[in-house]
Structure 1
C-alpha cells in the first residue's frame, strides 16, 4: 500500500531532536579530550517499550547487564488498536532483569487505565506478558553481537507477540542494529506488535548524559532522545533516564509523541556492614582486588602443609561470569598457595573494577583474566617450593590463658555473636565456637566479624586456631589457620604462613573438632536468654486482572522467637492488616484472600544434626568423608501452621561435599480447623493435609545459579512437580518457576508459570542482642507473581502447589548458601567485612 508523504509538522519534532544532539558533537569531542581514558563512557543498554533492551520499539543485540534490574514506564502502548478508551494512549510498564550473562527476561504490563473494572465499565486492554532475548558476541573486541528472542509470551491473550533475530554493531558512541521479525496475529485483534518484517535502528551518544536515535520497523519510522542522569546524582552504579519519542511518518502504531522514564538498579550491590563505618568504607564492593579460594580439606591435609606467599587482594562482587575453572590455579583462603602440583582449580571471581558498563561478555572475561594475572601470585617452581617449605618451621603454640580467652570472648560478644565458647584442643590449638543470630542477611558476614575479633585480640601472637560458626546451634562453617598470619592478611600485608582455610559442614565433620576440647570460657552470651522480635511485611496482590492493574492487601507480621535448648525454639507469628485496595475488602472480589488479624503460627521447632557417624561408625572413615554424611540435618515442627492447620511437619536435608548438590525430604500430617475455603491462601480439597515432597538442588557455582526440582504431594492433596531456576545477585535472588499439579478430586490439572523475588530487609547487622530483647532484620522477604499457562482461560486460581508454612532447613543454612563453593566465592566479602568492622571500632 502506498503511504502518503508525511506533512512537514510530522517530521518536525523528531528532526529537531536529532539535529540538536548531532550539533553537540563539538562538545562531545571536548569532553572526550578532557577525559583521561580514551573512551570516557560506553553505550549501556536501555530498556525499550517492548520489554527488551534496544531502541524504543526495536531491540538490539545488546543484553541487559548481568545482575541488573530494569524499570521503564511509557505513557504509550505502541501497536494497540483504536478503541474508546484512548487507543494507544495508556500505561506501559516494564520490569526486566539481566538474568544470566547472555540472557535477559522481562515482564510487561500494558493497560489503557489503572483502575477500571472491565466487567462493569470496560477497561480497554489489560495485558500481562513475558519477553526474553538471548545473545552472544561475535568477535573478541565485542563490537558485533547477535541475538534472538520473542515478545508477549504467556497469558490467555496474545496482543504483541513477535519472534525476531538481530545483529548489532557497537563502537563507543554508536550503536547500529539490523534485524528481521515475524509478527503473530492477535487472537482478539486488540493490538499488534510493531515489530514485523525488516527493522533497523541507529543510536548516537555524543555526551555522557545525552543519546539520540532513529528506528524503522514495519514500514514506519520514529526518532527518540534520552537524557541520562549523571552518576553523581544516583547511588553507586545506578542509572536513570528520561526520554521522548516521536513518529517520523503518519501511522496508527503510536501517537505523534510521548515520553518515558527508566531506572536501572544493580542487584549485586551490598551496603555497609556497619552504619558507623567511615565514609571511605561505606561501599563493600569497591576494592580493586582479586579473591583467593580454599581447597577442600582432606584428613591428610593440614594448614601447616601450605607454602606461604603474598595474599592476593579481594575483589568487589559483580555478577560477571567467572573464568573457566581450568584457567587458573586454585588458591586457598586468605591468599596463600598450595605446593606446586595441587590439582584443584578455581574460577576467577567477579570484579567490578575491571568492568565498563555496557561491555560485552568476551571483553569482560579478557579484562578479568588480565586483572587476575596481574594480581594473583603464580605457583612456585619446585626448587622454590622446596626451599620455602624447608625454611618454614611451625612456631610453637603458646598456652592460652584465661585472661586471653575472656578478652576474645568479650570481643566476639561485642560483634553480636552468642553462645561463645573458648578453649583448646588436646593438641593445644585455640578452639572457638560461636552462634550467629545477628548477621541476618548472610552468615559470611558473621565469619568476617569473628575473624576480626580473633585477629584484634590474638593477632600479635602466633597461635593455631580452629573456629566453628553455628546457626541455631547447627555447625555451618569452619575456619582453621594461624592468628598472626590472619592479622597480616587483614592488614593487606604478606602473610608468613597460612592465615586460614575454609570448611563447610559438608566438606568436614565440624562437630568432631570439639572432641576432647578443654573450655576456658563456655556458653558466654547464651542465646536462650534473648527473645527475638521481627517485623515482616505481608503482601497479597493481584496484578493485571479485570478488576484493576494492581490490587493489594498490605499487612505486617509480628514475630516472636524464644530460643530454648540446643536447636530448639518457640516461633509465634501474628498477622496484622494495615491497608487494602477496594477489591480486597471484605465481600469484594478478593476479600477472602485479604490479610486478617489472626494468629498465623505457633509452633515448637527442634533442629539437630543427625550423628550418623555414631550410629554407623563406618561412615566416619576418611573414605566416606566426601559423601558428607556428617551433614545430614533433621527438623520437626509441632503446633499451629498457616492460621488454619494444627499438626506436625518434618524435614531432612543433605548437602554433601562442596555443596554442588542438595537433597531434601519433607513430610507432615496436619488437620484443618476450619472447613471454609480461603481463596488466595489455602483452598483445601481435604480436611487433612499430608504433604510429602522430595527436592533436589544443583548449584552451578560459576554463575551463582541454582536449578531446583521438587515433586510429590503438596498441602492440598494435589500431586505434581515444580521446577525452578534461581539466580543469586549478592543477597538478592530472582527465580522463575514452572509447576504442574493435579488434585485428587475431579478438578483438572493446572500448569502455572511465575516469578519470585527474594531479598533481605533491614540492616545487614541486626540490633545487638542484650537486655533480653533483640530486634532482628528479616533474612528473606519474598513475593511471587504467577499466571496460569497452557489453558484456554486465565482464571485466578490458588491453592495449587502449596507447601506448609513452617521454617525450612535451608533458612538455617544461610538461605541454602552454606556450601564450600559459596564460601570460596565470597572470600572477598569475609575480609572486607572484617576490615570494615575493625575500622569502625
Structure 2
C-alpha cells in the first residue's frame, strides 16, 4: 500500500496548479499536518469530522478508534474535540478518553508577514495522554507551500510537541496536499486528499489523510489513515449578499399587480382593495390571525401570527414585509406590522414602503424601526379593519424530533445511546393560553442502556411524559411572564413561573425561572450492583420527594461577532447549586456552543464540566400548515458532549446544571430562540430579502 502511495506522489510534479495550502485536520484533532499544529486555523463556520485508526498511549502509538471533530468559531478561534478508544491487542477492548482542544490565532499581524497561533491540547483534563501547550508560526511561500515552526511543552511519553517542532506542506492542486513534519521526536510524511467542492451539495467535502512514512518504530510498518468530512454550517447563506436585483427584476414588476387588476385595466386601486389584496396574499402564505387596517391616512396597519416559517421568524417577517411593499403602492406611504404569538404582540416593525421596496429591489440599506417593547402596540383608533379566516384557536400543532440520550467516552464504552421519537402537542385556547403534552416512543438502545445494565436508569421509556397549561402575559418595558402548571418527567406535579426582559435592541436579556416539583410516587431506594446490601454505603441516595428550581439567566448578544454569551446561576434539578456559562456562535440556523458548568450538591464534591455542542433545524424553512392542524419538526435540535475537568480521573460522573426548561418556553416560542430584536435582524438583513424571493 505504501509503495503505491509513494508512486502516486512521484507523479504529482508532472502537472501542477498552484494552490494556497488549506487547513486540514491532523490526527490529533487540531488543525495541522500529521501530529503537529500549524498557525493556519480551521475555516470560520466550517465543521470538521474525522475518523482515524492511530491512537497514542503511554506505551506508544498503536491501532485504535480515534474520532476527531472541530469547528472554526471565528477567524482567529478554533475549538476541537477528540474521542479515543485504546483497544488492547489481546482482549480487543480498553479504556476511552474524551478531550478538548483550543487554538487562538493572533490578529493584527499582516498576513504577508506570517501567522501566529497559541494552543492547548486536552484543556483542563487529568486522566489523559494528550496534554500539551504550544506556540506556532506559519508562512506561505511560492503560493503553494506553507512552512511552520513551533515550540511546545507536552506530557507525551513519545516526546511529541515537547520541544521545537516544524513542518512543511505543499499543495500542487486544490484537492491534494503533501506534508512533512518533525514533531520534536519523530519525522512523518503524509498525503492529504479532498474531494472537489462541486461534487457534493452545500460545499461539503470528503477528506482522506494517509501516513506515508515515519521514523517512529511503531508507525513504520502499519497503515494509518484518517477519513473525514468538512461541512459549511450556514446552509441558508443568510449572511451573504446575492444579486437579487438582476435575477428578480422581472419578478418584482409582475408581482406588483394582481391578475384581476391587469384584466380589468385598473391600475389605481382603492385603499380598501389594496388592503384586501394584502390580506388574501398573507392568508395564502399560511399566516394566521391576520388583521389589515388603516392606522392613519398614510399608514397601513397589519397584525399576523407566523406559524409556517418556524425555523426562523425572520423568514416570516421577510415574506410579510415583502408582500406589503410590493402590493401597497398607491394609497399609503408607511406601514406598521405587529407580529404576534398566541395573540400576544412580540415584535413591532415600522417603516417606509418605498424604502423597504428599495431594500428588496435595489440592495439599498435596510431602514426599519424595530421594537420588542410591544405592550399596548396593537391597533388603536384604526378604521376599516379586515380579518382573515385562518383562525389559530384550538388548532393542534404537533412537533416531532428524535430524543437522544448518550454517554460518550465513558469507562464502559466509546458511545452508548438511547433513541426515541418525541412528539409534542400544542393547542391554543385563548390569548396567551396553551395546553401542551409530550409523548416519548422508545425506539432503540445500546446494550449498556438495557434493563439491568450500567445506564438503565437513564434510558428513555415509552409513555406520556409531560402535560401542562401555560398562560403568558405581556407587561410594560419589554417584559413577558409565563405561568405553567402540570405534570413533569412522568411522576412530578409542578408549578412554574418564568419572567423575561429584553433590551430595546435585543442585545441584553434576563430570565428568572422559579419552579416546584413534587413527586407523586415514593421511588424505591436502589442499591449498587455487586455490593452487599447489608452495608449502608451500598444503597444509592434516595431521590428527593420535592425539588425546588430557581435559575436566573443573563444573556448578551453581539451582532458584530454574531454570537452570544450567557451566564446562569441558581439551584437546578438535582438540587445542585452553581453557575453555568455558555458561549454560542450563530451560523444561519445552525449554532455551535461551548459550555462550562461548576455546580455542587450540599455536602458533596463539586463537579466541573466543559462541553462542546451544536444545534441544527430539523424542519424545512416553510412547514406544512393545514387549516385544521399542523405537523412540523423541531426548529432547534440540540446535542452536546461534556467532559469532566479539574479531577484526577475521567470516571463517569452524573450531569449537573439541569434547568428543567420545557420545549414550550418564552425564549423558543415567543422570542424565536433568542433571535428576535433589531440587532439580530439588522445583522441578518439579507435573509429578509432572501426569504421573500426564495423561501416561499
TM-score normalised according to structure 1 size = 0.74
**Residue 217 (structure 1) aligned to one of 183, 200, 214:** 183
CA gap of 1:606–1:192, structure 2 versus 1, over 3 A, is: farther
Q: Would you say the 8 A contact 1:738–1:754 is kept in 2?
A: yes
Q: Match of 2:304? A: 434
Unaligned runs of 5+ in 2: 249-267, 527-539
* 1:717-773 superposed Cα distances (whole Å, 9 cap, x missing partner): 2211111111111111211111122223x3222222222222211211110241x11
| Residue 200 (structure 1) aligned with residue 166 (structure 2) | yes
Q: Would you say the 8 A contact 1:723–1:737 is kept in 2?
A: yes
**Residue 322 (structure 2) aligned to one of 441, 452, 473:** 452
* 1:268-291 superposed Cα distances (whole Å, 9 cap, x missing partner): 221xxxxxxxxxxxx76764469x
Q: Match of 1:657? A: 504
* 1:460-512 superposed Cα distances (whole Å, 9 cap, x missing partner): 65532111112333333333233355444433377xxx985140214xx4643
* 1:563-591 superposed Cα distances (whole Å, 9 cap, x missing partner): 11112111111000011111111111111
Q: Would you say the 8 A contact 2:345–2:378 is kept in 1?
A: no
| Residue 103 (structure 1) aligned with residue 77 (structure 2) | yes
Q: Match of 2:130? A: 160
Q: Displacement of 1:529 after TM fit?
A: 4.4
Q: Match of 1:19? A: 10
Q: Match of 2:41? A: 63
Aligned partners of 2:599, 2:52: CA distance in 1, in Å? Answer: 37
Aligned partners of 2:632, 2:93: CA distance in 1, in Å? Answer: 44
Q: Match of 2:253? A: none
Output aligned runs, 1:711-726, within 5 Å.
711-726=569-584
Aligned partners of 1:455, 1:566: CA distance in 2, in Å? Answer: 29
* 1:280-309 superposed Cα distances (whole Å, 9 cap, x missing partner): xxx76764469xxxxxxxxxxxxxxxxxxx
Corresponding pairs, count: 661
Q: Match of 1:389? A: none
Aligned partners of 1:604, 1:632: CA distance in 2, in Å? Answer: 20
Give the number of the structure whose residues are more often strand, by fraction.
2
Q: Match of 1:817? A: 675
Q: Displacement of 1:407 after TM fit?
A: 1.9
Specify the SS of the correspondent of 1:480: strand
Output aligned runs, 1:429-828, within 5 Å.
429-459=299-329, 462-492=332-362, 501-506=368-373, 509=374, 511-512=376-377, 514-522=379-387, 524-610=389-475, 612=476, 629=477, 631-676=478-523, 685-744=543-602, 746-770=603-627, 772-798=628-654, 800-806=656-662, 807-811=664-668, 812-828=670-686
Q: Would you say the 8 A contact 1:752–1:786 is kept in 2?
A: yes
Q: Would you say the 8 A contact 2:20–2:145 is kept in 1?
A: no
Specify the SS of the correspondent of 1:691: strand
* 1:197-245 superposed Cα distances (whole Å, 9 cap, x missing partner): 2111111111122211111123321111122211210223323221211
* 1:610-665 superposed Cα distances (whole Å, 9 cap, x missing partner): 1x3xxxxxxxxxxxxxxxx2x11100111012223112110111111212211111
Q: Displacement of 1:312 after TM fit?
A: 14
* 1:689-731 superposed Cα distances (whole Å, 9 cap, x missing partner): 1111111111122111211111111123221111111111111
Q: Would you say the 8 A contact 1:715–1:804 is kept in 2?
A: yes
Aligned partners of 2:410, 2:660: CA distance in 1, in Å? Answer: 27
Q: Match of 2:690? A: 832
Specify the SS of the correspondent of 2:281: helix
Q: Match of 2:274? A: 404
Specify the SS of the correspondent of 2:430: coil
Specify the SS of the correspondent of 1:733: strand
CA gap of 1:662–1:719, structure 2 versus 1, over 3 A, is: same
**Residue 151 (structure 1) aligned to one of 98, 113, 121:** 121
CA gap of 1:217–1:500, structure 2 versus 1, over 3 A, is: closer
CA gap of 1:312–1:751, structure 2 versus 1, over 3 A, is: farther
Aligned partners of 1:672, 1:424: CA distance in 2, in Å? Answer: 53
Output aligned runs, 1:118-517, within 5 Å.
123-137=93-107, 139-142=109-112, 144-171=114-141, 172-184=143-155, 192=158, 194-252=160-218, 256-270=222-236, 287-288=241-242, 401-459=271-329, 462-492=332-362, 501-506=368-373, 509=374, 511-512=376-377, 514-517=379-382
Q: Displacement of 1:55 after TM fit?
A: 0.2
Specify the SS of the correspondent of 1:798: coil
Q: Displacement of 1:251 after TM fit?
A: 2.4
Aligned partners of 1:65, 1:684: CA distance in 2, in Å? Answer: 49
* 1:773-804 superposed Cα distances (whole Å, 9 cap, x missing partner): 11122121112222222223333233532222
Aligned partners of 1:285, 1:696: CA distance in 2, in Å? Answer: 26
Unaligned runs of 5+ in 1: 1-8, 33-40, 186-190, 271-282, 291-310, 315-397, 613-628
CA gap of 1:148–1:547, structure 2 versus 1, over 3 A, is: same
Aligned partners of 2:494, 2:202: CA distance in 1, in Å? Answer: 48
Q: Displacement of 1:399 after TM fit?
A: 9.7
Q: Would you say the 8 A contact 2:290–2:388 is kept in 1?
A: yes
Specify the SS of the correspondent of 2:198: helix
CA gap of 1:640–1:150, structure 2 versus 1, over 3 A, is: same
TM-score normalised according to structure 2 size = 0.88
CA gap of 1:312–1:193, structure 2 versus 1, over 3 A, is: farther
CA gap of 1:693–1:20, structure 2 versus 1, over 3 A, is: same
Q: Would you say the 8 A contact 2:73–2:79 is kept in 1?
A: yes
